[in-house]
Structure 1
Amino acid sequence: MHDFAELLDRLIYTRSRNAKLKLIADYLRAAPDPDRGWAMAALTGDIDLKGVKPSVIRAMIEERVDPLLFRMSRDFVGDTAETVGLLWPEPDQARAAALSGEALSVANVIDRLAHLSRGEAAAVLADMLDRLAAEERFALLKLATGGLRVGVSARLAKTALAQGFGLDVDAVEEVWHGLKPPYVELFAWGEGRGSQPTPADVPVFRPFMLAHPLEDTDINLADYAAEWKWDGIRVQIVRVAGETRLYSRAGDDISAAFPDVASAFEVTGVVDGELLVRGEGQGGALGDGAGAASFNALQQRLNRKSVTKKMLRDSPAFVRCYDLLFDGEEDLRALDWEARRARLEAFVARLDPDRFDLSALIEAEDFEQLAEIREGAREGAIEGVMLKRRDSAYVAGRRVGLWYKWKRDPLTADCVMMYAQRGNGRRSSFYSDYTFGCWNEAGELLPVGKAYSGFTDEELKWLDRFVRNHTVGRFGPVREVEKTLVLEVAFDSVHDSKRHKSGLAMRFPRIARIRRDKPAAEADRIETLRRMIS
């Protein structure tokens, strides 16, 4: 555990991407199997230990130290694992002697935690914490709760593995979802002790081709095809050897949440598309195929391990198809977009029309005309426009000059900060997560959203000082502040919400500007936001 704990500690305090890549690669080359495989699973979010919940950890530490001391320390530190790791009492000499022996490894920890019942979790976890030093306790608790939060994305971890062993990162991504932790075959391939794993006869996820934001319209529109950027979630649907799986953009298998879609895909192949829910909204105003409901309707079905018959009936899902990666067993990704589009049109014609349709192309002679058409995106509840170079192959990741996204301009509203909470990772010492609200007709300030991005480091320091100097109440880790600071909030859309007292919720809110010049009484009203609902 010592080496893994040291890796996490150094990653937290390292901001350079290249330095993080080197730290992970060095660890993976030096660590033995299966420790390094489990470390990769932790870094990529592929560990799910159901027996350990944060409430269990809080109860354990409050049995051993003053609960008030723990809560105050947690509030100051901003991270439960770090707080518990530091506060956990060292065992007495007799206990330490009884625990002496073989050191815990990452694999030992995972194996023990994976087979716990919830009733056993506290005793087993306490036994392990007694065996470890403070920095190792931190790593153990991060593993146990599954939330490392050390500034490393799954893609960065895979890139580090690829660089560490001289592999192509796209080849690693290609086989990743066909393998299971601790990825022994992957490391054998990297060290030349085994052949490259293949996704044969397994419906594995392939990395998506991504787009750059369009910042300059000084390109030849004739070289690009334009289509709408639909407001759902990007998915990949794969059928191989009679088995179908539906993957999210992150590569998570979401087939169980959308059995209506997965069961209807009966043609062997791999399709890239947008998962939507039927309803009035997207596309209807533009006359582009059957209408889709807002993202808020789709959200009711996300993150569920199973769905009810009522959900299937009331919110039927479908996929609007963008691209074709495999037609049968034939890999089309090396073909240009125009060739793939022709194959896609023929492929979609073979699918169930209730569950699959084709994303229509937009005809425009120049950027001026396309900009006018794009203005209708908000009316149609669509995110914007995609531009795809006609001669582009389907390549993983973002490649300059191939695909662009031209999103509709964001909405903005002046809101009042109401609450603040500390962030995670390098922001754990700053109040960086802000809940804000707007006024109702009765003069009450009601929350409409929460944001933790959009500001510079200097603005973060200023906001943190404001929170500390204007706190009027505390609720665990949350601080209530004086209702005097106006924040201009940018957001993509606003929807009805039963979870918020205001009845509204913003999608993708971020802080656009700190309005120190504007009195809180002049912030926007709930009714103003309600008129923005699309």
Structure 2
Amino acid sequence: MVLMIEVCKLCEELASMSSRSSMVALVSRFIRGLEGRDVEIAVRFIVGELFPPWEPEIGLGVMGIVDSVIKVFSSSRPEFFKEFKATGDVGLAAMRIAERAKGRHMGLLDQRDLTIEEVYDAFKSIAEASGEGSRRRKLRLFSSLLFRAKSPLEVKYLVKLALGERRHGFGEGLMEEAIAEAFNVPHELVRRVNMLISDIGLTARIARSGGAEELKRQGIILFHPVKPMLAEKADSVLTALREMGGKAAFEVKVDGARVQIHKSNGQVRVFSRRATDVTLSLPDVVELVRSKVKAREVVLEGEVVALTREGRPAPFQVLMRRFRRQRGVTKALSEVPLRLYLFDILHLNGKTLIDMPYLERRRVLEEVVGKDMVIDTIVTGRYEEANAFYEEALRAGHEGLMAKSLDSPYTPGVRGKRWLKVKPLFNTLDLVVVAAEYGHGYRASMLSDLYLAAYNPETGEFEVVSKCFTGLTDEELNWMTRRLKEIAIREEGRVVYVEPKIVVEVAFDEVQKSPHYKSGLALRFPRVVRVRDDKAPWEADTIQTLAEIYEKQRGRGGQGG
């Protein structure tokens, strides 16, 4: 039995630490003595998660959480928001409100200490509440949980868990290291399993119960999405051919949303690249797979593309009208027809296929689904043939090509040069919004100036490389402002700092040196092209990518400074 207060104290200690190795050592000691369900729940809570990403969210909303705190601790909205303004943190504001209540409300309904299992079960009940009156039931359940807290510190972390906040800098990457250290298993095995099943809690439980041998045996679990394999960029077809050793498979790169489809007998579920379940939004894709794919068990990867009336690819923003839509799905089916292009197979009838070479997986894919459902591909070592295929793809309205190494295994969650994106020379990067500043004039109420960051895998942090205030329409900025306020961490003057959750595609003229940013690099003339709601923050471009672009600019005589 693990008490909730123990996890809260651990997270507080993590928040005060800066050494990655010390943080890993602290967490590994904590989880080493845990077993079964306790280790699974504790690991999730420490990284700021309630459930795996494909499970339903609790659906309380920020104001629902705030109002529950106000009700339980006999406070008021003005009092709460005074604390929030002072701290810039909803969880910390809730803790201060609870501290004022002292013994009047803390844990009066039940003298037993809260366990993490009880907290998990309560949040599970909140997430599962549905139908008429479900919001009232959700709020009542959350209020009951707050009432059971014996410590203001527990209130702080109950609120943070409900919000999905991660403030102490201990994410999945560090947790993988802690699991490896705690249970004396290789780090690469822990990472492989977490990438395969997208569940850090279950990964810890497997490592705890079966050690390295069970981790080695672990394959794909149906309806647990696999983290997607990611591609580097190539500036031309010729560069891609050289990187691939003179011969490669070239697939058409469509401007769609990546999906992973799991089928077991008649059940089909569709997941986004962020591991979110989007099955209800895509009934046409579900029916197509159910009727056309005869395999008993299969995991497929592909892209869905919105089509115009003429059958050409529609802009990505049109596709997003279908993605994650929960209401009006039937109407959207006719307004935004989709086409599914499949390009990989990861699992078939109980066997995990990711270690199979690309060409062999491709052969199996065509046998299972038929060539009509598979994206157009050529295998060649001839530049002229590959370049003609590239130009044909562009004329058809597609983005370009994907070049893939013929002997490449599928490496979940890894970005590398076994896969390369070949697109026209139009500089874009995928960056993460980490803060935003209120605009001026008629945009004074909008968070219109975005602070954009690239990922630094060496530190595990997002480092700012640009401040951008162009590219989004007023309608998009209103949406962005609402979304940013939902994930706000703190406010300092006109700047709102947020959880690194929103990915945007950014065009720019060049990368230049800059003393203003920790990374030492900045984008010249950045403008937002579109919001990449389908991408996860960990898929953002890295500081190393920017450094490579900078060096290439210098090599071709660009100013770069």
TM-score bin (small chain): 0.5 to 0.7
Give the match's secondary structure for 1:358.
coil
Unaligned runs of 5+ in 2: 127-136, 457-463, 481-502, 515-523, 531-561
Q: Could you say which residue in structure 1 is the equivalent of 2:548?
A: none
Where does 1:231-310 land on structure 2 (aligned, <5 Å)?
A: 231-266=255-290, 267-268=294-295, 269-279=298-308, 291-305=312-326, 308-310=329-331
Give the Cα–Cα distance (whole angstroms) in 1 for the partners of residues 17 and 425 of structure 2: 34
In the alignment, the residues of structure 1 paired with residue 378 and residue 219 of structure 2 have an alpha-carbon distance, to the nearest angstrom, of 35
Which of 230, 242, 254 is equivalent to 2:254?
Answer: 230
Matched, 1:451 2:470: no
Match of residue 128 from structure 1: 148
Query: Does 2:409 correspond to 1:393?
Result: yes
Rounded to whole Å, the distance in 1 between the matches of 2:6 and 2:468 is: 45
Equivalent pairs: percent with the same residue? Answer: 20
Residue 321 of structure 1 is aligned with which of 342, 345, 355? 342
- 1:143-192, CA deviations, whole angstroms, 9 ceiling, x for partnerless residues? 23333354455565456435533262365337736999798667433499
Q: CA deviation at 1:80?
A: 0.7
Residue 451 of structure 1: SS of its match in structure 2? strand
Amino acid at match of 1:226: F
Name the structure 1 match of 2:42.
Answer: 39
Q: Whole-Å Cα distance in 2 between the matches of residues 125 and 254 of structure 1?
A: 30
Tell me the CA shift for residue 385 of structure 1.
3.6
Aligned residue identity for 1:387: A
Report the Cα offset of residue 8 of structure 1: 2.6
**Deviations 1:256-302 (CA, angstroms, capped at 9, x unpaired):** 2212112211422332211222227xxx9xxxxx6322211111122
Q: Is the 8 Å Cα contact of residues 345 and 365 (structure 2) preserved in structure 1?
A: yes
Q: For residues 232 and 215 of structure 2, what CA distance do their matches in structure 1 show? A: 37
d(CA) in 2 for partners of 1:198 and 1:400? 22
Match of 1:287 in 2: none
Contact 2:250 2:404 in 1 (8 A): yes
1:457-485 per-position Cα deviation (integer Å, ceiling 9, x unaligned): 9xxxxx9xxxxxxxxxxxxxxxxxxxxxx
SS in 1 for 2:420: strand
Q: CA deviation at 1:309?
A: 1.3
Shift in alpha-carbon separation, 1:332–1:53, aligned structure 2, 3 A: closer
Q: Does structure 2 conserve the Cα–Cα contact (< 8 Å) formed by 1:449 and 1:509? A: no
Work out the CA distance in 1 between the residues paired with 2:24 and 2:50. 17
Q: Check 1:365–1:198 CA distance in 2 against 1; reply closer, same or farther (3 A cut).
A: closer
Contact 1:235 1:247 in 2 (8 A): yes
Q: How far does residue 122 in structure 1 lie from its aligned partner after superposition?
A: 5.8
Indicate yes or no: 2:379 matched with 1:358: no
Following superposition, the deviation at residue 395 of structure 1 comes to 2.7
Separation of aligned partners in 2, 1:157 and 1:221 = 36
1:106 correspondence with 2:111: no
Alignment of 1:339-350 (within 5 A): 339-349=360-370
CA distance 1:122–1:199, change in 2 (3 Å): closer
Given that 2:36 and 2:209 are in contact with CA atoms closer than 8 Å, whether structure 1 keeps it comes out as no
Alpha-carbon distance, 1:349 to partner: 2.0
Structure number having the greater helix percentage: 2
Aligned pairs, number: 460
Query: What SS does the corresponding residue of 1:264 show, helix, strand or coil?
Result: helix
Matched, 1:146 2:173: no
1:326 is displaced (CA, Å) by 3.6
Would the aligned equivalents of 1:5 and 1:139 in 2 still touch at CA under 8 Å?
yes
Query: Are the structure 2 counterparts of residues 24 and 249 from structure 1 closer, same or farther at C-alpha, using a change threshold of 3 Å?
Result: farther
Query: What is the rounded CA distance, in whole Å, between the counterparts of 2:223 and 2:342 in structure 1?
Result: 18
Q: 1:120 to 1:209 in 2, by over 3 A?
A: same
Aligned letter for 1:124?
A: S
1:451-509 C-alpha deviation (Å, 9 max, x unpaired): 3324899xxxxx9xxxxxxxxxxxxxxxxxxxxxx95569xxx7988555799xx9524
Question: What's the CA shift string for 1:434-463, capped at 9, x where partnerless?
Answer: 4669x9xxx999979663324899xxxxx9
Q: Which moved more, 1:108-117 or 1:153-162?
A: 153-162
Residue identity matched to 1:9: E
User: Aligned partners of 1:376, 1:434: CA distance in 2, in Å?
Assistant: 43
SS at match of 2:288: coil
Q: Which moved more, 1:257-266 or 1:83-92?
A: 83-92
* Residue 36 of structure 1, CA deviation: 2.7
Query: CA 1:86–1:508 in 2, change beyond 3 Å: closer, same or farther?
Result: farther
Q: Report Cα offsets for 1:18-40 as digits up to 9, x if no partner.
A: 55544443332234543332233
Q: For 1:174 and 1:119, locate their aligned partners in 2 and report how far apart those are by CA, in whole Å.
A: 34
RMSD: 5.2
**Corresponding residue for 1:460?**
none
| CA pair 115-345 structure 1, distance change in 2 beyond 3 A | closer
Letter in 2 for 1:316: P
Distance 2:38 2:479 in 1: 48
1:203 deviates by 4.6
Question: Secondary structure at 1:205's aligned position in 2?
Answer: coil
Separation (CA, whole Å) in 1 of partners of 2:201 and 2:207: 10
* Runs of at least 5 residues in structure 1 that lack an aligned partner in the other structure: 285-289, 413-421, 424-431, 458-462, 464-485, 516-522
Judged with a 3 Å threshold, the aligned counterparts in structure 2 of structure 1 residues 152 and 363 are, in CA distance, closer, same or farther, namely: farther
Distance 1:362 1:197, change over 3 A: closer
Q: Secondary structure at the match of 1:304?
A: coil
- The alpha-carbon deviation at position 345 of structure 1 amounts to 3.5
